[in-house]
Structure 1
Amino acid sequence: MLRRLAGDRAAIDRRALSAFRIGLGVVILVDLLLRSRHLRALYTESGVLTTDALASAYPPLAGVSVHAVADSVAGPAGVAVLFVLAGVAAVALAVGYHSRIAAVISLALTLSLQARNPFVLNSGDLLLWQLCLFATLLPIGSRWSVDSVRTSASSDRTSTERTGARVASVATAALLVHVALVYVTNAVFKLRGDRWIAGDGAAIAFSMDQFTVLLGPWVAGSPTLLWVLNYAWLGLLVASPLLVLAAGRIRTTVAAGLVGGHAGMVLTMAIAVFPLVSIVSLLPFLGSGVWDRIDDAIVNVREWFAAAVGGDHTGDAGFASSRLDRRRIGRGLRIAARAFAAALLVGTLVWNAAVLGYVETGAGDAGIDPAEYGWKMFAPDPSGTDRWFVIDAELASGEHVDGLDRGSVTRDPPPDVDATYPSARWRKYLIAITVADDPAVSRSTADYVCRTVADRTGQRVESVEITYLERSTWPEPSEEVGTNRLVRHDCRT
């Protein structure tokens, strides 16, 4: 009985795995498109972070980025080629063409890109490469894929295929546990604070103008809605253990609630692809009933299309599901994959226990503090502080211009803090380097401003001063603004 219960909770509908694969490919593609807007500035030697500065801040990462190597060989064009290759792999992953190979390539290029500039990363980026890793161990191409069409023995759907066979393994258990722990650990951190329990957590988070976009300012102006959102989200986080302890409709309901919460983040907060990655991570928790309805919709659309264009195209060969992924791999490889999945499962449990302070791992002896790598999104309590930057470039003529070409140089609080940043990645970079406080990184960033301002204005740049200003945003924006100089750099040296 225990084995059956464990199997039910470790099982994932094959169509859910396929939706997971499609979502993963689409999110990687969206992430690449968003990052490509600042390809030269954030990911090349001619940008804000030289490889020497990267080596100063993150010595282990300096030699592992293929993007850095491509840049040294072919310049920004080499990095652009890797972006294109990653996009091709993401498309192959989404359509299910050699799915696991596409997942392996996506994993490698994602890790390489993230290693090139870790200052722009958030929790969503960490989760993204981890999901790619799990994808290499799972039968992600057994449904709704080119792979399934190529290996399908018949276009007729059996009753098993109609309802969708589930798969349960160490790898599926590891994926489910890993994703569930993202929410469980965040719940623990929030419960250790005061503001979420008091009903103020969401209000403080939305008070920070540097994050709010689209519907965000409207939500921030509704105290009642913020109170409801605070307890609704906290309730879902507290219920998150049911993602692995329960099955069926209960699991689906909790997962659907979390998906809805992340969809709301897309419409209200500028936090890169974090909410999209989170939505993809929750797809494997949705039950077979959800996928039955999606299958029905697909069949209805195909039958409508067949009727519209004429002819009999109602067979399922074009979008078929194979009974099982029959691709054979060697026994040794299967054993290795299972052992690796088991190690991931154990590692996930131990690492998150260390993050929460329940066990000692000895990671501190290697200079790694697990507490710095927890899923703390706005926890224990949101900071309630807005931060913006003044990048003052002095020209040879004596004129002062903004280093990011955002208009006149001013230290006055901006009407929209988020609008002062070129993108969410830029915001993350600038704020992260103030925390890192590494002189090599600050100089590298100032050097980039020297070059870009000189190119833009056609004048010699004498110096660049980067200052960050901050003020409290809750319960009301403070009149007092703190000023902190990050770096003053002489561009002539």
Structure 2
Amino acid sequence: MSSREYPLPTYTLATREELLGLDLRSLALFRVGLALIIIVDLIERFGDLKAHYTDFGVLPRAVLIEKFLNSSVWSLHLFSGNILFQGILFVVAFICALALLVGYRTRLFTILSWVLLASLHSRNQMILNAGDAELRLLLFWAIFLPLGAYYSVDSALNSESKLLPKSIISGGTIALTLQICFVYWFTAMLKSDPIWWEEGSAVYYALNIDQLATPLSSFMLQFPKLLVFANFATLWIELLAPFLLFVPIKNSFFRCLTVFIFIGLHIGFRLGLVLGLFPYA
């Protein structure tokens, strides 16, 4: 009886471009996501325009400049405390975000959107959270990326017959990838309290914070063992999942897996806690 020999499976290692580059189509979706977040954020903030951004609200410019503003911080919104002036800046930011959404003069409107967003945040830092900082950073790195290469007005108006590559590697792609990884790595490292690593009770305590609680929070509190699991799952996902982006074998599969893992994590954040922009950024 003859024995059969089965060849061992072979795997091709990912190239440098695959490990450190980004798909141009994914960057187009990234552009749309950024623009939508900015638009929704502007609409929400517009409801408190007078209270948060004028001299007739909780933080007049004189008080901000005298007691809180760092000398290195700048803001176009400080030129006037008039509600009309602030409203005009909001409208301009909204128009820039719409242009970014459809990919018209993409790099220009990415820069303008970042300038206006940074200016808005500097006007009243008392109402910001980590999600706002992350949005600014993502938008900053977006300036150095070809966000309009696909699915955009720019690409539709491009008369060149040269075919675009599907992916690109540059300092911008590396910086954006590492920026996303750093968010999770440093978040996990900062969770050094025993309630995270020993007791596993951090999620339980978080869901008990009334100002952050959602309707689902009180329901989840009925399942303490599930909350302990969620506690440690969050830690290990934040600590280890970013490394999946750099797996040299079947890199595309592991990148997609990482995306879905983090989407699930952020859906959990949004359902359980009111965290502003953080679950979306």
TM-score, with structure 2 as normaliser? 0.87
Q: CA deviation at 1:13?
A: 0.7
User: Which is richer in helix?
Assistant: 2
1:221 aligns with 2:222: yes
Aligned ranges 1:94-493 → 2 under 5 Å: 94-153=101-160, 165-190=166-191, 192-197=192-197, 198-246=199-247, 247-277=251-281
Deviations 1:368-419 (A, max 9, x none): xxxxxxxxxxxxxxxxxxxxxxxxxxxxxxxxxxxxxxxxxxxxxxxxxxxx
The one-letter amino acid of 1:237's match is E
Aligned position for 1:59: 69
User: Secondary structure at the residue paired with 2:211?
Assistant: coil
Aligned position for 1:417: none
Deviations 1:162-184 (A, max 9, x none): xx711111110011011101101
Q: Tell me if the contact between 2:110 and 2:142 (Cα under 8 Å) persists in the aligned partners.
A: yes
Would the alpha carbon gap of residues 61 and 240 (structure 1) be closer, same or farther in structure 2, given more than 3 Å must change? farther
Would the alpha carbon gap of residues 92 and 206 (structure 1) be closer, same or farther in structure 2, given more than 3 Å must change? same
Q: CA deviation at 1:272?
A: 1.2
Q: Tell me if the contact between 2:50 and 2:83 (Cα under 8 Å) persists in the aligned partners.
A: yes
Larger Rg: 1
Q: CA deviation at 1:255?
A: 2.7
Q: Tell me if the contact between 1:32 and 1:87 (Cα under 8 Å) persists in the aligned partners.
A: yes
Deviations 1:416-473 (A, max 9, x none): xxxxxxxxxxxxxxxxxxxxxxxxxxxxxxxxxxxxxxxxxxxxxxxxxxxxxxxxxx
The one-letter amino acid of 1:170's match is G
Q: Tell me if the contact between 1:180 and 1:243 (Cα under 8 Å) persists in the aligned partners.
A: no
Q: CA deviation at 1:215?
A: 2.1
Q: Tell me if the contact between 1:239 and 1:254 (Cα under 8 Å) persists in the aligned partners.
A: no
The higher relative CO (CA closer than 8 Å, separation ≥ 6) is in 2
Would the alpha carbon gap of residues 85 and 96 (structure 1) be closer, same or farther in structure 2, given more than 3 Å must change? same
Distance 1:244 1:79 in 2: 41
Distance 1:221 1:112 in 2: 43
Q: Tell me if the contact between 1:62 and 1:116 (Cα under 8 Å) persists in the aligned partners.
A: no
Superposition CA RMSD, Å: 2.2
Q: Tell me if the contact between 1:138 and 1:172 (Cα under 8 Å) persists in the aligned partners.
A: yes
1:24 aligns with 2:34: yes
Distance 1:171 1:62 in 2: 25
Name the count of aligned residue pairs. Answer: 265
Gaps of 5+ in 2: 1-12
Q: Tell me if the contact between 1:216 and 1:268 (Cα under 8 Å) persists in the aligned partners.
A: yes
Distance 2:115 2:222 in 1: 43
User: Which is richer in strand?
Assistant: 1
Q: Tell me if the contact between 2:242 and 2:258 (Cα under 8 Å) persists in the aligned partners.
A: no
Q: Tell me if the contact between 2:142 and 2:172 (Cα under 8 Å) persists in the aligned partners.
A: no
1:87 to 81, 94, 115: 94
